[in-house]
Amino acid sequence: MTSENDVLESIDKLYDQLLALEKETGIIFSDSVTQNVGFEVLTDLKKEKHPSKMLSLDKTKDRDVLKKWLGNQDGVLSFKLDGLTIVAHYNDGKLQKAVTRGNGIVGEIITHNARFFKGLPAQIPFKENLIIRGEALMKYSEFERINELIPDETEKYKNPRNLASGTIRQLDSAMMKEREINFYAFTLVDGLDSNSYEERLNWLETQGFQVVKHKKVTINTLDKEMNNFGEEVKTNDFPSDGLVLFYDDIKYGNSLGSTSKFPRNGMAFKWKDETAKTVLRKIEWSASRTGLLNPVAIFDPVELEGTTVSRASVHNLSIIDSLKLNIGDTIDVFKANMIIPQIAENQTRSLKNIKNILPTCCPVCGREVNIEKNEDTVVLRCINKDCAAKHIGKFEHFVSRDAVNIIGLSSAKLEQLIDFGIIKEFKDLYSIEKNKDKIVNMEGFGEKSYENLKKSIEKSREIEPDHFLYALGIEEIGKSTSRDIMKYFHYDFEKIFEKNYDDFIKIDGIGEKMANNLVHYFDKNAEMVKELMKEFTFIVPEINENETALTNKTFVITGKLHIYANRDALKKEIENNGGKVVGSVSSKTDYLINNDSTSNSSKNKKAKELGIQIITEDQFEEMF
Catalytic annotation, residues: 80
Burial of 163 (0-12, 13-18, 19+ CB in 10 A): buried
Residues sharing a CB contact under 8 Å with residue 343, sequence separation 6 or more, in sequence order: 297, 312, 314, 323, 325, 331, 332, 333
Please check whether residue 18 is in contact with residue 34, taking contact to mean a CB–CB distance below 8 angstroms. yes
In angstroms, rounded to a whole number, what is the distance separating the alpha carbons of residues 191 and 91?
A: 10
In angstroms, rounded to a whole number, what is the distance separating the alpha carbons of residues 537 and 61?
A: 58
Cα distances from 279 to residues 276, 311, 582, in angstroms, run: 10, 11, 41
Please check whether residue 417 is in contact with residue 399, taking contact to mean a CB–CB distance below 8 angstroms. no
Alpha carbons within 13 angstroms on the beta-carbon side of residue 71 total 9
Burial of 584 (0-12, 13-18, 19+ CB in 10 A): exposed
Report the DSSP beta bridge partners of residue 107. Answer: 48
Report the DSSP beta bridge partners of residue 332. Answer: 277, 345
Going by the DSSP 8-state scheme, the letter that residue 152 receives in this structure is -
Going by the DSSP 8-state scheme, the letter that residue 150 receives in this structure is -
Encoded amino acid at 175, one letter:
M
Please check whether residue 32 is in contact with residue 22, taking contact to mean a CB–CB distance below 8 angstroms. yes
Please check whether residue 47 is in contact with residue 106, taking contact to mean a CB–CB distance below 8 angstroms. yes
Q: Do strands 84-91 and 130-137 pair parallel, antiparallel, or not at all (unpaired)? A: antiparallel
In angstroms, rounded to a whole number, what is the distance separating the alpha carbons of residues 234 and 231?
A: 6
Residues sharing a CB contact under 8 Å with residue 188, sequence separation 6 or more, in sequence order: 130, 131, 132, 200, 201, 203, 204
Listed in order, strand segments (DSSP E) in 101-181 are 106-108, 130-137
Please check whether residue 332 is in contact with residue 277, taking contact to mean a CB–CB distance below 8 angstroms. yes
3 state SS of 230: helix
Q: List the end-to-end C-alpha distance of the chain, in Å, as a whole number.
A: 66
Residues sharing a CB contact under 8 Å with residue 202, sequence separation 6 or more, in sequence order: 211
Q: 39: how many CB neighbours lie within 10 A of its CB?
A: 14
Encoded amino acid at 340, one letter:
I
In angstroms, rounded to a whole number, what is the distance separating the alpha carbons of residues 46 and 50?
A: 13
In angstroms, rounded to a whole number, what is the distance separating the alpha carbons of residues 604 and 529?
A: 42
Cα distances from 495 to residues 318, 485, 506, in angstroms, run: 40, 11, 14
Which ranges constitute the DSSP H helices of 123-249?
140-148, 160-168, 175-178, 197-206, 222-232
3 state SS of 299: strand
